[in-house]
Chain A
Amino acid sequence: MKKDDVTEKTLSRRNFLKTAGGVAAVAGLATSGIPLMAEQAEAAGDALPKKWDETYDVVVIGSGFAGLSAAIEAKSAGASVVVIEKMPVHGGNSIINGGDFCAPGTKMQKENGVQDSPELMLKDMLRAGAYLNHPDLAKMVAFNAKDALEWTESYLGSKYTRLNFHGGHSVKRAHGTVNSSGSEVVNKELAKAREIGVKVQMRTKLVRFLSNKDGRIVGIEVRTGYRFPDEGSGKTAFIKARKAVVLSSGGFSRDVALRQVHDPRLTERFESTNHPGATGEAIQAACLAKAMDVQMDWIQLGPWTSPDEKGFGYVPLFCERLVGYGPMINPKTGKRFFKETGNRKERADAIILVGDPVIIMGDSYAVPKQVMATMLQKGMEAGAIKKFDTLEVVAKEYNIPVDIFIREIARWNSFVEKKKDDDFDCMIFKDAKPTVTAPFYAARLWPKVHHTMGGLVINKDAHVVGFDMKPVKGLYAAGEVTGGVHGAVRLGGVAMADCIVFGRIAGKNAAAEKPWG
């Protein structure tokens, strides 16, 4: 077959060039090879490899919440399953996630006297999502979240110990894991998957989907022994998916080029809270296999992150506890510039408009009362949160025009006294007091890319939908790689629910497909 020849030739030249050190030339060959293949695919599907290196009923791409949920369900339904993961470790963003799982009408809510319902959760999701959510998808999450949460408890043995609140929800419905990390769930998923016989293979990266002449996805090309981020590393292999492929590769918050296509503001200047592998090549590969993408420009930035620490860091836990108690200041003007209690999107946009980092501050009444002592200490050790004896020193540290700044703090304090903000309508909490008690604490804020709401179009069976508006045969998707569930804004704590609800659906339906060969 012609295509095989192309692949083989590319491979042998690649090997030769690698020893000669011609890495750049290899990159050129590889990229020039792809469009050629795509063109051929247009006519009569992909030429399939003469020999598949491995064969499974269901091939899952990605080892986070969604992928492992899918793998466990597919395996439990009797399918043979492999999970491939491009990174050297499992878990993607799920393993560094904060471990808050939103679900309505649960036992823990009842114990805490919280009245909730799937209808109310759906309403919150739609309102936050600016009604851009695909309603049937959002509904699947809201109405199945409780069952998914209970599955992680009873089947995996995950433990939840607190009920947390997140902005945009009407009630407390985020069930916090015992270790405040998604690892409590994803590590137990991995253990369970392995226990029931799922093969989980790290350092294996998806290169492209392979479809037959009917446009059905029949397998994937991968690179095994891949060493992120070295694109030349690893060896080509072909994995046959007798029933289906489940794509659960996460979002693209770390993919500067791709996110700039959709939101040109998001240059390298914006760090991300995500793990380094959160890039978009799998979404693009799916689109090349005729999957449709949606709402790719709804990219969520966290307005609570600091440029003075890496990743998510400690400042979000400082900032979010202080809003409604202390002011946010634009150092250039010495004045407040936005409603401190505004939602993630409004605040991030406001800071980007300012153009440089702003500060959030509190005094020795608000900070010890609101901020967890260990987090404050760690943030200070990291140098991201600083302590000052006077307001004048704060002004000096951040280059703030001091007179205007002192007057602005006095103005803020007058709003706190009367519990009403005449300037920006910030919600001022009942127990808030004027910012007067030294020492003062402050941190710089600059948004980081946190979640990509857009992604592949799926239906409520987690089946990927193509540009011809029909399901792409043999391809399912779940989690952040999909779009439409959250619309414009994903609420805190709903990612876990989304991933586990749709991961399980994808796994069950993939296992129920008729084998193609």
Chain B
Amino acid sequence: MSPGYPAFSKNNWRHMKKQPEQKTLKVFVSLLSITIVFSLAQFLWAAPKLVPSKAKSGDCSACHVQKKMLPDKHPDTKAMNLEACKACHTKDNLNLTGKLPGSHTHQLIGVNCEKCHGKSKKQEALTMEKCVACHGSTAKLAEKTKNVKPSNPHTSPHYGTELDCNLCHHQHAKSENYCAQCHKFAYKTP
């Protein structure tokens, strides 16, 4: 109970009268605090804290405050960027493809939240024009991946080259293979 709560004398007649009300209040307060703790915990565990713009890109704990993200034996990544990760995580060994949400890879090469979402406080979902602005035209990309088996992932009879990048390459969740809803294309989506 909060220290500022007025104390009642045990011998005071008002005490007798107040008690039932106090009990209700107690139940209410404890329910409320359970709810608050629960929602706070949910918030902390489920959603990583929004990255402070000055945080170093390899500093997991800057956002994942409550949870250790890497195994105990993993070297400290605070000072690392994507190049440094690649010293161990090569194409053939411990490949990182598909392991990190796209925003993390972006962050590790210095493309932070603001660079895509701007400085606005209320950051909104982006269209693929934003991706194309840095990564180049979708037609060029499709040309680059034309030999990928079993089928070029960047063009299809359905959407041509214009399927939104974000449907596969999620930035804030694990990437997925959108084609796999209907096709058996075993792509590893970065």
Separation of A45 and B7 alpha carbons in the complex (Å): 55
In the complex, the answer to whether A378 meets B38 with C-beta atoms within 8 Å is no
Q: Is A43 an interface residue (CB 8 A)?
A: no
Given known contacts A20-B35, A20-B42, A95-B159, is B182 in contact with A381 (CB within 8 Å)?
no
Q: Is B98 an interface residue (CB 8 A)?
A: no
Separation of A382 and B167 alpha carbons in the complex (Å): 23
Most-contacted residue by chain A among B160, B163, B181 (CB, 10 A): B181
In the complex, the answer to whether B42 meets A19 with C-beta atoms within 8 Å is yes
Q: Is B23 an interface residue (CB 8 A)?
A: no
In the complex, the answer to whether B163 meets A89 with C-beta atoms within 8 Å is yes
Given known contacts A88-B167, A378-B150, is B182 in contact with A311 (CB within 8 Å)?
yes
Nearest CB of chain A from residue B183's CB, rounded to whole Å: 6
Q: Is A356 an interface residue (CB 8 A)?
A: no
Main secondary structure of the interface of A (DSSP, over half): loop
Chain B 154-183 interface 0/1 with A at a Cβ cutoff of 8 Å (1 = within): 000111100110010000000000001111
A19, A275, A311, A381: the one within 8 Å of B43 (CB): A19
Name the interface residues of B37-68: CB closer than 8 Å to any CB of A: 38-39, 42-43, 46
In the complex, the answer to whether A187 meets B157 with C-beta atoms within 8 Å is no
In the complex, the answer to whether B38 meets A89 with C-beta atoms within 8 Å is no
Q: Is B135 an interface residue (CB 8 A)?
A: no
Please, which residue of chain A has its CB at the minimum distance from the CB of B180?
A310
In the complex, the answer to whether B46 meets A309 with C-beta atoms within 8 Å is no
Name the interface residues of A446-502: CB closer than 8 Å to any CB of B: none
Given known contacts A19-B39, A21-B46, A89-B164, is B159 in contact with A96 (CB within 8 Å)?
no
In the complex, the answer to whether B167 meets A21 with C-beta atoms within 8 Å is no
Nearest CB of chain A from residue B116's CB, rounded to whole Å: 18
**Number of B interface residues, CB 8 Å?**
20
Number of A-B contacts (CB under 8 A): 52
Q: Is B10 an interface residue (CB 8 A)?
A: no
Please, which residue of chain B has its CB at the minimum distance from the CB of A181?
B157
In the complex, the answer to whether A179 meets B181 with C-beta atoms within 8 Å is no
Q: Is B14 an interface residue (CB 8 A)?
A: no
Please, which residue of chain A has its CB at the minimum distance from the CB of B183?
A310
Q: Is B188 an interface residue (CB 8 A)?
A: no
Q: Is A183 an interface residue (CB 8 A)?
A: yes
Separation of A20 and B180 alpha carbons in the complex (Å): 33
19 contacts between A and B (CB under 8 A): A19-B43, A20-B39, A21-B46, A88-B164, A89-B159, A89-B167, A95-B158, A95-B159, A96-B158, A180-B157, A181-B157, A183-B159, A183-B160, A187-B160, A310-B182, A311-B181, A312-B182, A378-B150, A383-B184
Interface residues of A (CB under 8 A from B): 19-21, 88-89, 91, 95-96, 179-181, 183, 187, 225, 275-276, 309-312, 378, 381-383
